[in-house]
Structure 1
Amino acid sequence: MTDVSRPAGVTDNVVGGTAPVAEPGRRRSPLTIAVVTVVVLVLAAAPLFLAPFATTTLTRLLLFGLLAVSLDLLVGVTGLPSLGHAAYFGAGAYAAGWVSVHVTAAIPVPLLAGAAMGAVAAAATGWVAVRSAGVYFLMLTLAIGEILAQLAQSWDSVTGGANGLSGIPAARLGGEPLLNAGYLYWYVLVVGLVAFALVWLLARSPFGAALRGIRDNEPRMRAIGYPTVVYKYAAFVAAGTVAGAAGSLLAAQQRLVTPSDLGFTTAALVLLAVVIGGAGTLWGPVVGAAVVILVRDALGPGLGGHGELLLGIVFVLVVYLLPRGAAGLAGLRPFRRRRP
């Protein structure tokens, strides 16, 4: 009989010990597969029917959604709420922009540079951060984010200082620049879908099951022999890598990177997106990102600059009325082990 007191994702093995296992095999229902297929097809066809401004807004939504998914790997899967995750997003954006300006803008070089920089920045700072927990981890990540933001603002020769890194050339595919909003959107969509699939597979793997066990009961996981700090560090670096890749997409779309892209405001917005969408679902943060971007970029200008106020109201309503976030409305639950 399964011990229901065990952390999620941990079960007995054949030699009497314990080992993390992946999410139990659950076949996706035909309805779920159909819905996912329709959503992907609609997203792929969107530029054919939308105006350039709407297409650009949807592009920002997708790359911000990828950033939210990377944060959800920490917040929802591992149980590490961070207020400095935008630092790796901005570091990836700066790296991709610098490579595009000084080396080449040919795809996928800036994308790989952004992901690599996100990984390096996360590896350099994460080993200290993951040794803390709770509010200490939250404050430590906030401090890391602010330090990197100040570094970006003061390193004029590389980042452009307070003015930002400008003059980033358009991403090039096959020698042709992606100047058309629709072509750039499709590039972002493909990268976003591939990165989302990789994060989803990671969350469902035995490694992801161990992360959920750490989230639910870290002392017990440590007691049965798991090096929890190493697991959290690996999750931190993985999340930073995906955030850096999202940052490279920002550099390609915006063609300008500023210190605010890795500062507290961006970090708070992406954490807000995860909470609104539903932490631990991976799909939910994408919905939350859509809410944040639409309120900030589409509704905010028409509200006399009070988009942040509307976001605050939405956040309060979600906390009180939807404890599992918007994903709860669709029956989506955080990754966890089913119990008999």
Structure 2
Amino acid sequence: MEVSTPRVIAIVVALLLLVTLPAWVGNPYYINVASQILFFAVFALALNVLVGYGGLVSLGHAGLFAVAGYTAALLLARGHGHLVADTVALAVTVLTAAIYAVLSLRATGIGFLMITLAIGQILWGVAYRWASLTNGDNGINVAARPAPFGLSLAGADGFYYLCLVVFLACLASMRVVVRSPFGASLRGTRDQERRMAALGYDVWTIRFWAFLLSGFWSGVAGLLFLYYNQFISPQIVALTTSAEALLMVISGGTATLLGPVVGAALVVIMKNVVSAYIVRWNMVLGIIFILIVSFMPEGLVPGSARLWAWARHRLRRGKSGVAAATPPAAAGEGGP
């Protein structure tokens, strides 16, 4: 597929800004906010696989996000290394995603949403009530962050670059999947489930593999969250986490790669920056969400693209109208 020059320039500029962000931001607090945006963007992209491309709205993804964090934290607390803990955590998360899929894919629409919500609440109950394993409300502390290849992630800059690498890997993998035959078949199950089944596609299996992909990247985001806070508690398994992730996807734009990233930036900035100046920041976020749904129901990214295309069209029409209204020069005018 041919890529336009403006798009290439925009991608290069965005990469340069991301790579050099610690240098021009300077303040460790805002670098940490940028790290949060990146790993929550990974979480939103993972959820977008189901919501945007599969047409399956989940309200239980906080469970997958937290399973990875809790599994790694428990293994680290028992003396295992980071590599073992993280590998096992991702394997357990994918297995949990498979269980999610087997139980929830029995239904679609509101039924699917309610089943994922119920599973998520069950996992929250386990994290909150099974205190002998999860330490209940007191949570689990992680002593230190990993140091891959001897590189320290203790500082804000180092951890930001880890999040950036993971985010770019996630974005690249999502782009490959979306443009693959599997991505096309997943969108087909969203738009024409019965027709896809009539054509011989196994709709359940396609959605099952999409769930596993979503679960894997949700687990990766959960590990980054664990290492960022060096702590995990039942609060992260609560319904609000799933709702915030869904808000990121819907506000930015479903079935797009950039939409969940913009949505994650909006929610994280509201929680960590705007909340320092506005006490009722969650009310402001709610108002913003209502405005987005009212005036850009497709989301910020597709809506902005639509408005830009409309403005360019009006500008071109205005220029062509002016040109048509200008009378031609008289014969011989301007000649010697």
If the length of structure 2 is used for normalisation, what is the TM-score?
A: 0.87
For the pair 1:79 / 2:55, whether they are aligned, the reply is yes
Alignment of 1:147-166 (within 5 A): 147-166=122-141
Q: Look up the equivalent residue of 1:310 and give its one-letter code.
A: V
For the pair 1:318 / 2:289, whether they are aligned, the reply is no
State the 1:252 CA deviation.
Answer: 1.0
Aligned to 2:142: 167
Aligned to 2:43: 67
State the 1:118 CA deviation.
Answer: 2.0
Q: 1:131 aligns with which of 76, 97, 106?
A: 106
Aligned to 2:74: 98
List per-residue Cα deviations over 1:276-319 (Å, max 9, x = no partner).
00000021011001000001111113212x12111110110000
Aligned to 1:6: none
Q: How many residues align?
A: 305
Q: Look up the equivalent residue of 1:86 and give its one-letter code.
A: A
Q: Look up the equivalent residue of 2:273 and give its one-letter code.
A: A
- Which stretch has the larger CA shift, 256-265 or 175-184? 175-184
For the pair 1:31 / 2:34, whether they are aligned, the reply is no
State the 1:49 CA deviation.
Answer: 2.4
- SS for the counterpart of 2:141 is coil
For the pair 1:241 / 2:216, whether they are aligned, the reply is yes
Q: Look up the equivalent residue of 1:181 and give its one-letter code.
A: A
For the pair 1:327 / 2:272, whether they are aligned, the reply is no
Q: 1:290 aligns with which of 265, 277, 284?
A: 265
Q: Look up the equivalent residue of 2:17 and give its one-letter code.
A: V
RMSD: 1.6
Distance in 2 separating the partners of 1:142 and 1:58: 29
- Which stretch has the larger CA shift, 65-74 or 176-185? 176-185
Q: Look up the equivalent residue of 2:243 and give its one-letter code.
A: A
- Which stretch has the larger CA shift, 38-47 or 170-179? 170-179
- SS for the counterpart of 1:38 is helix
> Which protein has the bigger helix share?
2
State the 1:180 CA deviation.
Answer: 0.9
User: Is the CA contact (8 Å cut-off) linking 1:70 and 1:239 kept in structure 2?
Assistant: yes
Q: 1:276 aligns with which of 251, 254, 270?
A: 251
Unmatched segments (≥5 aa) in structure 2: 307-336
Q: Which has the larger radius of gyration?
A: 2
Distance in 1 separating the partners of 2:5 and 2:61: 36
Aligned to 2:309: none
Distance in 2 separating the partners of 1:104 and 1:302: 42
Distance in 2 separating the partners of 1:299 and 1:327: 21
State the 1:109 CA deviation.
Answer: 4.6
Aligned to 1:258: 233
For the pair 1:47 / 2:19, whether they are aligned, the reply is no
User: Is the CA contact (8 Å cut-off) linking 1:110 and 1:248 kept in structure 2?
Assistant: no
Q: 1:203 aligns with which of 178, 185, 205?
A: 178
List per-residue Cα deviations over 1:199-226 (Å, max 9, x = no partner).
2211111011000000001011111111
- Which stretch has the larger CA shift, 95-104 or 124-133? 95-104
Distance in 2 separating the partners of 1:320 and 1:230: 35
- SS for the counterpart of 2:192 is helix
Distance 1:111 1:330, change over 3 A: farther
User: Is the CA contact (8 Å cut-off) linking 1:101 and 1:169 kept in structure 2?
Assistant: no
